[in-house]
Amino acid sequence: MRIIALDDTSMKDILTDLLKRDPNNYGEYENTVREIVERIRKEGDTALFEYTRRFDGAAMNPASIRVTEKEIREAMKEVDPALLAVMKKSMENIRRYHEKQIKNSWFDTQPDGTILGQKVTALESVGVYVPGGKAAYPSTVLMDIIPAKVAGAERIVMVTPPGKDGKVNPVTLIAAHLAGANEVYKAGGAQAIAALAFGTESIPRVDKIVGPGNIFVALAKKAVYGHVSIDSIAGPSEILVIADKTADPRYVAADLLSQAEHDELASAILVTDSMELAEQVSEQADSFLEQLSRRDIIRCSLDNYGYILVTDSMEQAVETANRIAPEHLEIVTERPFEVMTKIRNAGAIFIGEYSSEPLGDYFAGPNHTLPTNGTARFFSPLGVDDFVKKSSIIYYSKEALKKAHKEIEAFAEAEQLTAHANSIRVRFEEEE
C-alpha cells in the first residue's frame, strides 16, 4: 500500500478522489431510471414483468412473482444447518441491540392544563431491497429487517431479483424468513423500487424502502424519495483505521484488506503518527494479499482508494478521520476511548484491537447498514428510528389559550395571515 506523509494538499487530493465514488454523480443513468420509474407508476405489473424479463431473463406473472410457503420450505433444505445456527445467534444480538433503541412516546404537562408531547408510531409497511447475483448476503437481510420488526412495522415486504430459473437465492430467502419478512416478491432493479413506491397489482405500496443495490437501485431510490421515505443512498464501503505505535500491524493490515475486498470502489485507509507502523502494515498487507481469494478486487481497490497516511500527531489523525467521515472507523491506540470522544463523523466506531470491523458486519448487534462516502457527517446507521415517525401532540385548556390568545393573534397579523388570527379570536370574542 502506498504511504503518504499527510499535508493539506495531499488531504485535498484524497478527499477529491474518494468523492469520485459518489453514486449521486452518475447523472448519465438518471433518464433511464426516470423512464423505468414512470412506466411502473403508470403501467404497474405489465411494465414490471417486461423489465424482469429484459433485465433478469425471468418470466414472471401474478401467480409466480410472490414467493410461496413451499418455496421457503424447499429453500430451508438447501441451507447449511451450521450457517443457520450462526444466523440465529447473530439475529439474537442484532435484536437485543436494536431493542435498546426503542423510544417511547412522551408528554409534558403544565399547571394551566397544557399538554405537549410526541407520539411515536411504527411505520405500517416497509420495503426491503436485497440484491441478487451470484453472492448472497444474508447478514444484510437480517440487518435491514430486524430493526423494522423491533420498531413494530406490521408489514415487511422484501423484493429481490429472480434468477433466469425464476427462483431467488435460498440463503437470502431463509434469512428473510427467520428475520420476519411477511411477503417476498421476485423483482429487482429500479423497477422493484418503483413498484414498492407506487404499488402495482402484485406488489403493495410501502411507506419506506431500505437496502443496498447497484447504481440503478440507488438512483431509483432517490427518484422516489418524497413519495416514500428511503434509507440513505448506499455508496461503496470504507474503513479508516486510526492507529499508533502500540497497534499490531498484522491486525491492522487484515482489517484494511477486509473492507478492500468488497468491490473495486471500496476504500481502506490507515492514519497513523508512526512511520514504523505504516511500513509494517504496508508489508503485512502485501503478504496477506497473496493468500486471499479476492486478491484481484483487493489489489484494485487498494491501488485506487487505499492509503496509509502518516501524520505529525494523533490530533492530526483524528482531524483526518473527521474530515473523511468514514463508514467504519477503527481506533487502535494506547487509549482508544479517549480518542473516541474526539470523533465527530463516523458511521460505526470500533474501539481497541479486538474490535475488528467484521465483528460488526456479522455479529455484535449494531447495524452494518451505515452511512458511506462521507455522509456520516449527517446520516446515521440504520436503526429503529428509521422505522418510526413522530406526531406532535398539542393540548391547550381554555385557560391556557386565553392567557396567550392576544400574542398569537398579533403574530398571525404580523404575517398577514388574518384567517389564522380569526381562528383564535372567535374563541374569545364573546367574552370581551
Binding piece for a copy of itself, criterion CB under 8 A, among 52-60, 177-185, 272-280, 288-296: 288-296
- DSSP class per residue in 157-209: EEEE---TTS---HHHHHHHHHHT-SEEEE--HHHHHHHHHH--SSS---SEE
Please give the C-alpha separations between residue 312 and each of 119, 274, 278, 319, 369, in angstroms, as whole numbers: 50, 9, 13, 12, 33
The answer to whether 63 contacts a copy of itself (rule: CB under 8 A) is no
Please tell me what DSSP assigns to residue 387: G
Q: Which of 4, 76, 115, 215 binds a copy of itself (CB under 8 A)?
A: 115
The label of the residue with cell 398577514 reads 416
Provide, rounded to whole angstroms, the least separation between the CB of residue 54 and a copy of itself.
24
The answer to whether 131 contacts a copy of itself (rule: CB under 8 A) is no
Give the Cα separation of 229 and 196 in Å (integer).
11
What are the backbone angles phi and psi of residue 304, rounded to the nearest 5°?
A: -90, -45
Binding piece for a copy of itself, criterion CB under 8 A, among 46-54, 59-67, 270-278, 389-397: 389-397
Q: Which of 75, 394, 431, 432 binds a copy of itself (CB under 8 A)?
A: 394
The answer to whether 199 contacts a copy of itself (rule: CB under 8 A) is no
Which grid coordinates belong to 175?
434469512
Q: List the catalytic residues.
A: 327-328
The answer to whether 340 contacts a copy of itself (rule: CB under 8 A) is yes
* Longest alpha-carbon distance in the chain: 88
Q: Is 165 annotated as a binding residue?
A: no
The label of the residue with cell 425464476 reads 166
The answer to whether 305 contacts a copy of itself (rule: CB under 8 A) is no
For a copy of itself, the closer of residues 62 and 113 by Cβ is 113
The answer to whether 27 contacts a copy of itself (rule: CB under 8 A) is yes
Q: Is-contact 332 352, C-beta < 8 A?
A: yes
Q: Enumerate residues 221-240 that contact a copy of itself by CB under 8 A.
A: 222, 225-229, 232-233
Q: Enumerate residues 83-112 that contact a copy of itself by CB under 8 A.
A: 83, 86-87, 89-90, 97, 100-101, 103, 106, 108
For a copy of itself, the closer of residues 166 and 408 by Cβ is 408
The answer to whether 345 contacts a copy of itself (rule: CB under 8 A) is yes
Binding piece for a copy of itself, criterion CB under 8 A, among 1-9, 158-166, 274-282, 398-406: 398-406
The answer to whether 375 contacts a copy of itself (rule: CB under 8 A) is yes
Binding piece for a copy of itself, criterion CB under 8 A, among 66-74, 156-164, 307-315, 377-385: 377-385
C-alpha atoms less than 13 angstroms from C-alpha of 280 in its C-beta half-sphere = 15
- DSSP class per residue in 10-79: HHHHHHHHHHTT-GGG-GGGHHHHHHHHHHHHHHTHHHHHHHIIIII-----TTTSBPPHHHHHHHHHHS
Per-residue exposure over 163-190, b if at least 16 CB sit within 10 Å of its own CB, e if not: eeebebbbbbbbbbbbbbbbbbbbbbbb
| Total chain residues near a copy of itself (CB under 8 A) | 128
Please give the annotated binding residues, written as ranges. Answer: 129, 191, 214, 237, 259, 262, 328, 361, 415, 420
Binding residues for substrate: 237, 259, 262, 328, 361, 415, 420
Residues making up the binding site for Zn(2+): 259, 262, 361, 420
